[in-house]
Structure 1
């Protein structure tokens, strides 16, 4: 059964407010007229504006299935599998997130970054959990967990482009997918499956899924909900906490990773990052049924993601240089322009939040 909030949304909220205007409400200006004026034609001029990035990220944001395990004391009855923001506990300290998971709200947020070439937009979505946990005394646990997906969107002349492929992050491995009808095929890496879609607010969104406990991420049904689980849907305005471990209609709020609530401007913050792209995490609290099996500094932001055996692709390039990665993972490689017109990770197009 859907929560009451979902019935209200479906029957009233979406009927009263056009989806395109609801989508814009978090972009900055005070009125819907200002918002509409700011966004109109923005993507035709690239993704240099916050509003354009928000619109593009919302259009392709995944419908996300999160498997939930309610067993074991470290699951917190399933809460340890809920997605949240890094500062869910009100501070930018990485080493107390495990401890605070049990006592703070876990409202759903997902970070997005967008970079641009003349041929493609690349959108990375980062799903954060305060715990990478286990229910066995023989398994390793660690504080903080960041995994995600990079979408390859061709700039085909349409407003939001065409989604041609995806690369997901599951621990130390990347997995690549293409939807039906995509012009892309296997490159140096073989594709791992089909990218499927679900209709949400009148348009198709890719479906991603994460396993419980370790939170590896693949295109559905590479992972799926088995028993308990949460289904998350994107928003620019609303962040909800699941009402239970089996909530099928929860909104996650998108956060621009370059913005004031994001991670990129805080990349040199010692309380949050132990090293470049690696979240600080310690062994405090009950992490590790056997304390030696709680590892430290073991989770990464997207510029720290790395596949352990994909040849010339370097650590972090899934976010920093996704055109290079895409030309390696997919063919034909010649279809990918490698000259960026907007890429704050490389200082192209401006980095207003640089420390």
Structure 2
């Protein structure tokens, strides 16, 4: 019993110490990936990453139309959720178009795919990454870095995380395919690995001015990190729209799903165009992985990781900070009053019960 109490006290001290050491922005920047983006020469600019409001408004039904020539700052979104034992850091990559150059294929306006990592709070400033889950369209893929204790859980681990030294930080490497932008750990998503004879862009995080690709073959473009949970940002827009009548929603069609229409040439020629087809971390889902539910990337990442991986050791599912949940609670939502489209498998009051002020 005494050993257990000592272990719990040590865990609480580690959680408190690491939480005070760095800000969420510093934590997200330290772990931010070197990102390999495959491109297709028939429409390079549609493979450039940017902001969801890159055109100066949060109206999502004009983003296909306003894509222009792609001269916008490279942007990657992040969020940080903190449990008693881990940080869960999400990164999301936005494109105005999910497009195709193949006849009889389907396109849609807006595209957001990404990843989440579990970082153990081990007493160091930035903790230690233990696992990664990525979004590849409607499937999730899981990876572990060298030395991770994680084993197969309800899902089989799909590969290893690779790293690249950049400005003194050994950064994980991620990669997205061209056109459809499915994302995996590098080099699993596409045949772009950075070779000179391949089409693609390599993005690097910066605290300075973000860059713009010079072409579809730019090997160094700096991207800025933007907090999804910041006031007036992406998640704020979701909460705002969730309180509006459907006809007045600008950014989202339902909970976790961007609005998107067929204007501007989406589905032109012999292709088709689907509407309201792009999802966010609080709407991402793998439809065939069992008891992992839509939106857990943001709402309940500890459950997501405990489902995907075994060997997690001391692994708390209590949250010291989960702005996704507190945002919903502060907006007046609860189990009997949820946003339109909120996943039926998740009980909001149960999720609110995972928020804690103490890890003792």
Please report the TM-score for the alignment, with normalisation by the length of structure 2. Answer: 0.80
RMSD (Å), alpha carbons: 2.3
Q: In structure 2, which of residues 204, 223, 226 is the aligned counterpart of residue 255 of structure 1?
A: 226
Deviations 1:326-354 (A, max 9, x none): 001111245320000000111189979x9
Q: What residue in structure 2 maps to residue 96 of structure 1? A: 62
1:208 matched to 2:179: no
1:164 matched to 2:127: no
Distance 1:198 1:43, change over 3 A: farther
Contact 1:342 1:349 in 2 (8 A): no
Contact 1:165 1:178 in 2 (8 A): yes
Cα deviation, residue 223, structure 1: 2.1
Contact 2:18 2:126 in 1 (8 A): no
Q: In structure 2, which of residues 278, 294, 301 is the aligned counterpart of residue 315 of structure 1?
A: 294
Q: What residue in structure 2 maps to residue 44 of structure 1? A: 17
1:346 matched to 2:325: yes
Q: What residue in structure 2 maps to residue 328 of structure 1? A: 307
CA distance in 1, matches of 2:143, 2:184: 9
Residues 249-258 or 235-244, more deviating: 235-244
Matches within 5 A, 1:116-155: 116-155=82-121
Residues 261-270 or 287-296, more deviating: 287-296
Contact 1:66 1:230 in 2 (8 A): yes
Cα deviation, residue 237, structure 1: 3.3
Q: What residue in structure 1 maps to residue 143 of structure 2? A: 177
Q: In structure 1, which of residues 215, 223, 232 is the aligned counterpart of residue 189 of structure 2?
A: 223
Contact 1:281 1:298 in 2 (8 A): yes
CA distance in 2, matches of 1:300, 1:199: 31
1:68 matched to 2:47: no
Q: What residue in structure 1 maps to residue 71 of structure 2? A: 105
Q: In structure 2, which of residues 207, 230, 233 is the aligned counterpart of residue 236 of structure 1?
A: 207
Contact 1:122 1:153 in 2 (8 A): yes
1:191 matched to 2:165: no
Contact 1:95 1:282 in 2 (8 A): yes
Distance 1:104 1:203, change over 3 A: closer
1:275 matched to 2:254: yes
CA distance in 2, matches of 1:184, 1:236: 32
Residues 182-191 or 283-292, more deviating: 283-292
Deviations 1:1-59 (A, max 9, x none): xxxxxxxxxxxxxxxxxxxxxxxxxxxxxxxxxxxxxxxx9983627x9x701100000
Q: What residue in structure 2 maps to residue 6 of structure 1? A: none
Cα deviation, residue 290, structure 1: 4.3
Report how many aligned residue pairs link the two structures.
306
Q: What residue in structure 2 maps to residue 300 of structure 1? A: 279
Residues 51-60 or 202-211, more deviating: 51-60
Contact 2:150 2:310 in 1 (8 A): yes
Distance 1:285 1:303, change over 3 A: same
CA distance in 2, matches of 1:347, 1:262: 16
Contact 1:326 1:336 in 2 (8 A): no
SS in 2 for 1:144: strand
CA distance in 2, matches of 1:104, 1:348: 33
1:84 matched to 2:50: yes
Distance 1:200 1:344, change over 3 A: same
Cα deviation, residue 104, structure 1: 5.5
Residues 342-351 or 200-209, more deviating: 342-351
Structure 2 alignment gaps of length 5 or more: 1-13, 242-248, 334-360
